Amino acid sequence: MTAEQVARSAREASNLLQTITSAQKSAVLRRIKQVLEERRDQIVEANRQDKEAAQKEVDAGRLSSALFKRLDIEGAGGEKYSTLLQGVDDVDRIPDPIGQVTMARKLDNELDLYRVVCPVGVCLVIFEARPEVVVNIACLAIKSGNAAILKGGKEATRTNQALAEAIQHAIATTPTQEGQTQFPERAVQVVSTRDEINSLLDMDRYVDLVIPRGSNSLVRHIQNNTRIPVLGHADGICSTYLDASADVKKAVHTVVDAKTHYPAACNATETLLVHSSVLDSVFVPVARALQQANVRIHADQRSLAAMDKAGIRDASLVSEATDADFGHEYTDMDIAVCVVDSLDEAIDHINAHGSKHTDAIITENAQNAQWFMRRVDAAGVYWNASTRFADGFRYGFGTEIGVSTNKTHARGPAGLEGLTIYKYYLFGNGQGAGDFGVGPGKHPFLHQDIPLDDTVRSKFVL
């Protein structure tokens, strides 16, 4: 199929999905999990082949180690694949948002207005490595009534194909009850070439939303080469600030977790800001713990001096920071350290150098925490918690379509709601707009809110 045929068939599938019931969506999701379990060995083997080929690219310097780490779908003892299967169940358990009423208003007698949740339509998802995205996005798209076109990185070609075939087989083999719309097999499609993507980025007639997941360069390329709305983020430059009243135990645990739990992730802390009053009492224990975890510290002069004074500076792990270290996404076991003299200076640093993703403050001062959380311009602002919590699964979204730093319909870790918008239903009885106003034969609007009880809220759910 050509790119245009793929896009057109996705639009046709999207139109059919508007009449698919919640029970049908649930049946398809259960079938997807079943087929993924049945084909586990086959999919894992495809992933191992991809990893073997990718390792050669890493050794040759043509593929980054961070990208390679994201390629694995199996995990230690199969844990990652089991989490993938659990994610399908989690999405299935989420209440179906489509058809839910979020606002109801009586404009006049027999003139009722409803704001109703509906799918975005056709979503084009482009990602690097992370083959589990195929399953994540497919399940969220099915649950939210969207059609999805997926393009993964060439480093995961075998895995992506095996997963896509499993999902398409599950859709095709899910029975349809009498009177139900047949679930469209083209609801989830996979494309494989860069040329197809370049063509699809021009097809705003068919594609409603582009979701890029990958490197800074990938996201920026897409943002600069399409008229279609883009949901995503180019950078994951997260900061953690150790305030003047930071608890040392909390500081050590949260900072080490934020940096080392998964350093290749976009929600890993890249910059550590330290109030000058806690250099000796809090920063030194944190720096010691980071070095014990083999984190490379790019420290400014004052933090270097504090490590030297305490005698904890490991020359193999510590270097002097440059301006380029602040505002840099390492996606590795590196962290930049900057000492500040006030809370406002820390906030200004984050707003100047961060990426509006996720930032944290470690403090025992509630007023400082609230000031930080109001003033920092980010999708997520945390108090005494690791930035690694910025994740759809951890937020209880089941899984996520990505993390958005946009100020549009979805921000932060975007789950099911990131694939929905709304439309207005108006039920009248022959009224015209000219019937309302001031003057002979006219009357004012009622504008009375209709209480959103369970009956009204689910009025249009199939």
More confident of the two residues 217 and 315: 315
pLDDT in tens, 39-93: 999 999 999 999 999 888 888 888 877 778 788 888 888 888 998 999 899 889 9
Q: What value does the mean pLDDT take over residues 256-261?
A: 96
Cα angle 375, 381, 386 (rounded to 5 degrees) comes to 145
Write out the two tokens for 222. 């897409």
Please say whether the beta carbons of 254 and 290 come within 8 A: no
Q: What value does the mean pLDDT take over residues 325-329?
A: 92
Q: What is the mean pLDDT of the chain?
A: 91
Predicted local distance difference test score (pLDDT) of residue 234: 65
Predicted local distance difference test score (pLDDT) of residue 272: 98
Q: What value does the mean pLDDT take over residues 358-387?
A: 96
3-state SS of the chain is CCHHHHHHHHHHHHHHHCCCCHHHHHHHHHHHHHHHHHCHHHHHHHHHHHHHHHHHHHHCCCCCHHHHHCCCCCCHHHHHHHHHHHHHHHHHHCCCCCCCEEEEEEEECCEEEEEEEEECCEEEEEECCCCHHHHHHHHHHHHHCCEEEEECCHHHHHHHHHHHHHHHHHHHCCCCCCCCCCCCHHHEEECCCHHHHHHHCCCCCCCCEEEEECCHHHHHHHHCCCCCCECCCCCCCEEEEECCCCCHHHHHHHHHHHHHCCCCCCCCEEEEEEEHHHHHHHHHHHHHHHHHCCCEEEECHHHHHHHHHHCCCCCCCEEECCHHHCCCCCCCCEEEEEEECCHHHHHHHHHHHCCCCEEEEECCCHHHHHHHHHHCCCCEEEECCCHHHCCCCCCCCCCCCEEECCCCCCCEEECHHHHEEEEEEEECCCCCHHHECCCCCCECCCCEECCCCHHHHCCCCC
pLDDT higher than 70, residue 398 = no
Please say whether the beta carbons of 232 and 213 come within 8 A: yes
Predicted local distance difference test score (pLDDT) of residue 180: 83
Question: Which residues, at least 6 apart from 150, have a Cβ–Cβ distance to it below 8 Å?
Answer: 125, 127, 133, 134, 137, 138, 160, 164, 188, 189, 190, 191
**Amino acid found at 312:** I
Q: What value does the mean pLDDT take over residues 273-278?
A: 98
More confident of the two residues 398 and 124: 124
pLDDT in tens, 399-439: 677 777 777 777 778 878 889 999 999 999 999 999 999 88
Question: Which residues, at least 6 apart from 224, have a Cβ–Cβ distance to it below 8 Å?
Answer: none
For residue 333, give the 3-state DSSP assignment: coil
- As a whole number of Å, the CA-based R_g of the chain is 25
pLDDT higher than 90, residue 368 = yes
Buried/exposed 1-38: b ≥16 CB within 10 Å, e otherwise: eebeebbbbbbbbbebbeebbbebbbbbbebbbbbbee
Predicted local distance difference test score (pLDDT) of residue 201: 93
Predicted local distance difference test score (pLDDT) of residue 364: 98
Confidence of residue 203 (pLDDT cuts 50, 70, 90): very high
pLDDT higher than 80, residue 35 = yes
Predicted local distance difference test score (pLDDT) of residue 63: 81
Q: How far is the C-alpha of 430 from the C-alpha of 453, rounded, in Å?
A: 27
Q: What value does the mean pLDDT take over residues 433-458?
A: 93
Q: Which residues pair with 394 in a beta bridge?
A: none
The dihedral built from the CA positions of residue 313, 318, 324 and 329, taken in this order, carries a sign that is: negative
Confidence of residue 293 (pLDDT cuts 50, 70, 90): very high
Predicted local distance difference test score (pLDDT) of residue 71: 86
Predicted local distance difference test score (pLDDT) of residue 244: 97
Provide the whole-model pTM.
Answer: 0.79
